[in-house]
């Protein structure tokens, strides 16, 4: 990717420690979702919370492509946060796939990699679509169906979503992406592109013979279905030094469901002696 193709990514920094950590969120998320986890890595770490393309305050793109997303993050890191050397990268779900592609395409930027509850395979790799595909389709369709011009604020939007999305916590997570301006309500994520790209989001690109030889921690939620035993070969083929940890009582959003346990796992992996 050339410098002229670089897009504007919105970022936020937490902490001022010597060790530098980058967080990449999942679908519907934004960098600030990892604020509590970043604070849990203080005082040792400085964390960069990134809004990925088509999310949060970052620029939209014409297409969804994991290779391009990883290259955009790489350009952002080279320009500043990783300008003095490799950093640790933590990615959840969609952001975990971006993090894996980043490590494989730009290994000089990544020291240690943490992949949260996602695998380097397509969601239909075993012939059956993961339940998350239909869930994300439903959520995106529900958001796109809202008539924002007819709503006078977030509370009204919450009420309108209560039928199709009865879980209050899920609605709150989604409504963080609703913004109010002079022209009324608008969604920050590129909902149309994301909905049209669900097949690509659920897949994983072919990176040929690429390998990442540095330490990798593969963290799964014991109640989730995104890390399966049969995915281990694909993970080890790309990341031969990957170790797996499963957190009891956690589903797909480990960092929000079990934050203290997640912080403890990260500290044990990121803050031990470097090899």
252 given a catalytic annotation: yes
93 given a catalytic annotation: yes
Picking from 196, 216, 238, the residue at the C-terminal end of a domain is: 196
Does the pLDDT value for residue 23 go beyond 70? Answer: yes
Nearest in space to 50 (alpha carbons), one of 11, 81, 13: 11
Spatial CB neighbours of 3, under 8 Å, sequence gap ≥ 6: 75
Point out the catalytic residue in the list 10, 47, 58, 93: 93
The verdict on residue 275 lying in a domain is no
3-state secondary structure of 107: helix
Q: Is the Cα dihedral 31, 36, 40, 43 positive or negative?
A: positive
Task: Provide the residue range defining the domain that includes 82.
Answer: 3-121+204-270
Dump the DSSP string for 54-77.
Answer: TSTTSPP-SS--HHHHHHHHHHHI
The verdict on residue 165 lying in a domain is yes
| Share of residues in the chain with pLDDT > 70 (%) | 93
116 given a catalytic annotation: no
pLDDT in tens, 189-202: 999 999 999 999 99
Point out the catalytic residue in the list 25, 55, 106, 252: 252
Q: How far apart, in whole angstroms, are the C-alpha atoms of residue 123 and residue 258?
A: 24
**Same-domain check for residues 171 and 228:** no
Does the pLDDT value for residue 126 go beyond 60? Answer: no
pLDDT band at 6 (very low <50, low <70, confident <90, very high): confident
**Same-domain check for residues 87 and 117:** yes
Does the pLDDT value for residue 264 go beyond 90? Answer: yes
Q: How far apart, in whole angstroms, are the C-alpha atoms of residue 167 and residue 199?
A: 25
pLDDT in tens, 63-75: 999 999 999 999 9
Q: Which of 2-6, 152-156, 230-234, 257-261 has the lowest mean pLDDT?
A: 2-6
Across the range 86-110, mean pLDDT stands at 98
Across the range 48-59, mean pLDDT stands at 97
Nearest in space to 121 (alpha carbons), one of 188, 160, 66: 66
Does the pLDDT value for residue 5 go beyond 50? Answer: yes
Does the pLDDT value for residue 242 go beyond 90? Answer: yes
The verdict on residue 258 lying in a domain is yes
**Same-domain check for residues 22 and 150:** no
| Share of residues in the chain with pLDDT > 90 (%) | 88
Does the pLDDT value for residue 106 go beyond 80? Answer: yes
**Same-domain check for residues 77 and 140:** no
Picking from 173, 196, 219, the residue at the C-terminal end of a domain is: 196
pLDDT band at 130 (very low <50, low <70, confident <90, very high): very low
The verdict on residue 101 lying in a domain is yes
Q: How far apart, in whole angstroms, are the C-alpha atoms of residue 68 and residue 76?
A: 12
Does the pLDDT value for residue 133 go beyond 70? Answer: no
122 to 125, 201, 221: CA distances (angstroms): 5, 9, 18
**Same-domain check for residues 17 and 88:** yes
**Same-domain check for residues 188 and 213:** no
Q: Check: CB of residue 224 under 8 Å from CB of residue 257.
A: no
3-state secondary structure of 154: helix
Q: Is the Cα dihedral 148, 151, 155, 161 positive or negative?
A: negative
Instruction: Give the burial class of 122: count Cβ atoms within 10 A of its Cβ; 0-12 exposed, 13-18 middle, 19 or more buried.
Output: middle
**Same-domain check for residues 93 and 66:** yes
The CATH number given to whatever domain includes residue 17 is 3.40.50.1820
Point out the catalytic residue in the list 192, 213, 230, 260: 192
Q: How far apart, in whole angstroms, are the C-alpha atoms of residue 113 and residue 243?
A: 11
């Amino acid at each position: 990717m050339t410098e002229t193709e670089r897009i504007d990514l919105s970022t936020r920094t937490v902490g001022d420690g010597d060790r530098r950590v980058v967080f990449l969120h999942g679908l519907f998320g934004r960098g600030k979702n990892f604020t509590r986890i970043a604070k849990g890595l203080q005082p040792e770490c400085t964390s960069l919370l990134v809004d990925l393309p088509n999310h949060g305050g970052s620029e939209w793109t014409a297409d969804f492509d994991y290779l391009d997303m990883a290259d955009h993050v790489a350009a952002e890191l080279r320009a500043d946060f990783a300008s003095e050397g490799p950093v640790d990268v933590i990615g959840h779900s969609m952001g975990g796939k971006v993090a894996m592609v980043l490590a494989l395409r730009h290994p000089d930027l990544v020291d240690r990699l943490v992949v949260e509850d996602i695998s380097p395979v397509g969601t239909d790799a075993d012939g059956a679509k993961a339940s998350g595909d239909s869930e994300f389709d439903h959520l995106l369709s529900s958001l796109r169906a809202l008539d924002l011009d007819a709503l006078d604020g977030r509370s009204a939007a919450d009420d309108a979503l209560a039928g199709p999305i009865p879980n209050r916590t899920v609605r709150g997570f989604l409504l963080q992406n609703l913004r109010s301006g002079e022209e009324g309500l608008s969604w920050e994520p590129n909902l149309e592109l994301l909905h049209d790209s669900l097949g690509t989001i659920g897949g994983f690109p072919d990176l040929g013979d690429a390998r990442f030889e540095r330490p990798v921690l593969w963290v799964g939620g014991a109640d989730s279905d995104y890390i399966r035993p049969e995915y281990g070969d694909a993970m080890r083929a790309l990341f031969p030094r990957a170790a797996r940890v499963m957190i009891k009582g956690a589903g797909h959003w480990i960092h929000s469901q079990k934050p203290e346990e997640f912080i403890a796992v990260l500290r044990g992996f990121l803050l031990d002696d470097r090899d």
